Structure 1
Amino acid sequence: MEGHEIIGFVAGFGTTFAAAPDLYAMLKRKSAQGMNPTMAGIMGVFQIAWLYYGVLIDSMPIIIWNIIAIAINSLTVGAFFHFARAENNG
């Protein structure tokens, strides 16, 4: 693995899992309080664009990292709406 590939791997890992702490905190406290789903939604849209770009240039690291990131952001938005609905009904 060359130097630029290592940098790409580390950068991909960091940006992919940047939203994971928010998801973890929300699941742990079982509350949507303090969470803004707009940020996760915007990130998800651009991660879909990155995924498409990865397919166009046939870059497996870009494809894989962005599939994982889209999944994390989807779970974050889904958890937000689940907990927000429960808080409004409860």
Structure 2
Amino acid sequence: MDLTQIIGFAAGLGTTFAALPDLIAMLKQRSSVGMNPRMAAITGTFQILWVIYGMLIGSSNIIMWNVIAVVINYLTVGAYVHFRRQEARS
């Protein structure tokens, strides 16, 4: 692995899992309090473009990291909606 690949791997790892703490916090608290799903939804939407870009240039690293990130971001939005509905019923 050369320096370019190492930097790309580290950047992909960091940006992919940046949204994970919000998802984990929401799941632990079982609450949407203090969370705003807009950023996750916007980020996830644009990461879909990164996946398409990765396919166009044939970069498996870009595709892999951004597919994982899309899943994390939309799980965050889904968890927010789920907990918000529960809170509205209570």
Which range, TM-score by smaller chain? Answer: over 0.9
Q: Which runs of 5+ in 2 are unaligned?
A: none
TM-score by length of 1: 0.99
The number of aligned residues is: 90
Q: Which amino acid aligns with 2:8?
A: G
Alignment of 1:52-67 (within 5 A): 52-67=52-67
Cα separation, 2, equivalents of 1:75 and 1:45: 13
Q: For the aligned residues, what is the CA RMSD?
A: 0.4
TM-score by length of 2: 0.99
2:14 aligned partner: 14
Percent sequence identity over aligned pairs: 61
Q: Does residue 50 of structure 1 match 2:35? A: no
Query: CA shift at 1:3, angstroms?
Result: 0.2
Q: Does residue 30 of structure 1 match 2:39? A: no
